[in-house]
Structure 1
Amino acid sequence: MNALAKEFSYQIGWRSRGRHAGRHASAQRGLGMDFVGHAPLISYPDPRRIDLRLTLRDPMEQVYVRIYNQRSAVPVFVACDLSGSMGFSGHTNKLRIAAEITASAAQSASRVNDPFGFIGFDEQVRDDWRVPSSTRVQSAYLLADELQHYRPPHVGGQGILEVSHYLPRERSLVLLISDFHMPLETLEEALIAMQRHHIVPIVLWDAAEYSAIPEFGLTHVTDSETGEKRTLLLRKSTHARIQSAFAERRAALDALLMRYDRPPFFIEQGFDADALTEYFYQFVTA
């Protein structure tokens, strides 16, 4: 188990169509315990499932078997924003938090035999920050160790639009990690492209970005995604406008995600695995 990993429990709100055995409700016929009905033996030739009581009552002398669904695996992915703004380090370090979530998701998926994969993106999906979906998660642990030390260049996060191309056709659980400092139109386009999957938006913010700044004085700021440098004269009114802008951004982000029935999971004080477990119990019905 990786030192960054903090296990959490998750569930899905749909029936998996995965053929591999797992712990989730499934639409696949098999040797599970989820009874779904009866069928004639000739249609489902499994004599181990013969229902003698129903067979003896049938006036047409048809032999019936019980039909069950197996429990199946569900692919789990972390899609992580590696754009410039994710390199911000204030009270916490965003990519350190992303690394913890990645290791925790890999460990939690492995525990229930779900395959895990990682997709990193900035201006495009990065092949050097991808881990193919697998039940063997050692490579995901190694990537998480590298991720916590990564310092992204001054680039944007347009690659979120390509993430859907790297997800399987089978419906998957996708933890989308970002600070979402991107145009909302871009985010909405990405959500539409990934709509066949269940997206959990994990929003990494830091109070040092907007509230823990001085009310007076000169300060030098750098746009983390363009590299542009500016000097600002901070006054009380400027401080208030910055906080107001972040509050409006949070409301707009929340409204967009809720329009697609994807409640955001905000993290500002470090990753709490129990809080993520509670999120799944509250917002994802098994």
Structure 2
Amino acid sequence: MNDAARDIAYAIPWRTSGVRVGAHKSFLSGSSGLFRDIVPLTTFPDPRRIAIRASLSDPFEKLLVRRAEQPSAIDVAVLVDVSASMAFEGRCNKIALAADIAEALAICTERTGDTFALLPFDSALRQDLVLWKTLSRAAHLGAVEKLRGVTPDQKGVEGIAEAGAAIAGARKLVFIISDFLWPDEAARMAAETLAFHDVVPIELRDSLELEDLPRWGLLNLRDLETGRSRLVAMRPSLKERWLTLRNDQRSRIARVLDADMREMFTIRDSVDWMRFTAYLLYGAA
């Protein structure tokens, strides 16, 4: 993994209630962290933080103390689509890309003190690949390597609902990594199941799937979800119709997801890590 991938960072636009010290804004007050306000000692009984100048100038002669905002940690969950469509290899290997992104996010959580969980899914939650939330670097690396070795062969993405149910509870930062070649119902299911969380959808696209197909020629195509093969006589009108259908499908999925999640981030063939980091930091503002 290159240095740019190791240096990614993310931000959240909400305050956490987590009690574990971390790097994110929280609702909690403490003795250390960013200055929040000055309050009476009876409100925040910590005499080590007495604000002498403010106390002397207080017209009610109250003893005042400085109160700080206690930064807290959050839970980060990465949901990875390992259904059959993710097995397509043209100009990129989607599973390898997903593993690289998951590894980069795991490294970032280690720096910020957040927990990391990895939940791959296809037609069901893949229990053989799941890593429940942990701070262990060794566990992170082991789970990512298992993901990297997966050969997707199951159709369907219904496991997204099971993955969402598995991370129910306190609000989390959730990443969904997929090609999003989903039926509309699966997108609605994902939106409903993960509605409480801060969700970042990351779309993986291989330009050879449609955009870079030849305008003319005989193509032997295979549907990875159904396994059916078909010989197709490609021509400009057919390619245009396929592109229109694919873009319409993507627009429908994006509309459903964007209503409850952050705007979808698309990766085409390879990851531009600087652009990805900018999206994670400033797209959360």
Tell whether the 8 Å contact from 2:161 to 2:190 is kept in structure 1 after alignment.
yes
The CA deviation at 1:151 is: 0.8
C-alpha distance in 1, partners of 2:156/2:277?
A: 31
Q: Helix, strand or coil: the match of 1:67?
A: strand
C-alpha distance in 1, partners of 2:148/2:163?
A: 21
The CA deviation at 1:233 is: 3.2
Q: Helix, strand or coil: the match of 1:275?
A: helix
Q: Helix, strand or coil: the match of 1:255?
A: helix
Paired residue for 1:16?
A: 16
**TM-score w.r.t. length of structure 1:** 0.90
Paired residue for 1:202?
A: 202
Q: Helix, strand or coil: the match of 2:202?
A: strand
Give the total of aligned pairs: 285
C-alpha distance in 1, partners of 2:62/2:223?
A: 74
Query: What aligned pairs does 1:107-186 form with structure 2 within 5 A after superposition?
Result: 107-186=107-186
Tell whether the 8 Å contact from 2:35 to 2:67 is kept in structure 1 after alignment.
yes
Paired residue for 2:36?
A: 36
Paired residue for 2:99?
A: 99
C-alpha distance in 1, partners of 2:153/2:258?
A: 31
Between 1:275-284 and 1:197-206, the stretch displaced more is 275-284
The CA deviation at 1:182 is: 0.9
Tell whether the 8 Å contact from 2:129 to 2:146 is kept in structure 1 after alignment.
no
Over aligned residue pairs, what C-alpha RMSD do you find? 2.3
Q: Helix, strand or coil: the match of 2:130?
A: strand
The answer on 1:212 being equivalent to 2:178 is no
Question: What whole-Å deviation, never above 9, does each CA across 1:39-66 have from its counterpart, x for those lacking one?
Answer: 4333432111222334344565543322
Q: Helix, strand or coil: the match of 1:175?
A: strand
Give the unaligned 5+ runs of structure 1: none
C-alpha distance in 2, partners of 1:2/1:132?
A: 26
C-alpha distance in 1, partners of 2:148/2:80?
A: 12
- Cα gap change, 1:261/1:150 in structure 2, threshold over 3 Å: closer, same or farther? closer
C-alpha distance in 2, partners of 1:259/1:58?
A: 48
Paired residue for 2:193?
A: 193
Tell whether the 8 Å contact from 2:99 to 2:145 is kept in structure 1 after alignment.
yes
Paired residue for 2:272?
A: 272
C-alpha distance in 2, partners of 1:190/1:31?
A: 40
Between 1:107-116 and 1:56-65, the stretch displaced more is 56-65
Query: What aligned pairs does 1:43-122 form with structure 2 within 5 A after superposition?
Result: 43-58=43-58, 61-122=61-122
Paired residue for 2:222?
A: 222
Give the unaligned 5+ runs of structure 2: none
Question: What whole-Å deviation, never above 9, does each CA across 1:9-37 have from its counterpart, x for those lacking one?
Answer: 21111112111111111111222333333
C-alpha distance in 2, partners of 1:92/1:123?
A: 23
Tell whether the 8 Å contact from 1:154 to 1:226 is kept in structure 2 after alignment.
no
Question: What whole-Å deviation, never above 9, does each CA across 1:196-238 have from its counterpart, x for those lacking one?
Answer: 2111110011111112323344433332222233333333322
Question: What whole-Å deviation, never above 9, does each CA across 1:65-105 have from its counterpart, x for those lacking one?
Answer: 22222111121221100111011111001001001001111
Tell whether the 8 Å contact from 1:160 to 1:187 is kept in structure 2 after alignment.
no
Matching residue's letter, 1:156: G
Matching residue's letter, 1:49: R
C-alpha distance in 2, partners of 1:157/1:133?
A: 22
Between 1:241-250 and 1:73-82, the stretch displaced more is 241-250
C-alpha distance in 2, partners of 1:192/1:186?
A: 10
Tell whether the 8 Å contact from 1:22 to 1:72 is kept in structure 2 after alignment.
yes
- Structure 1 runs (4+) greater than 6 angstroms displaced: 1-4
Paired residue for 2:283?
A: 283
Matching residue's letter, 2:181: H
- Cα gap change, 1:50/1:6 in structure 2, threshold over 3 Å: closer, same or farther? closer
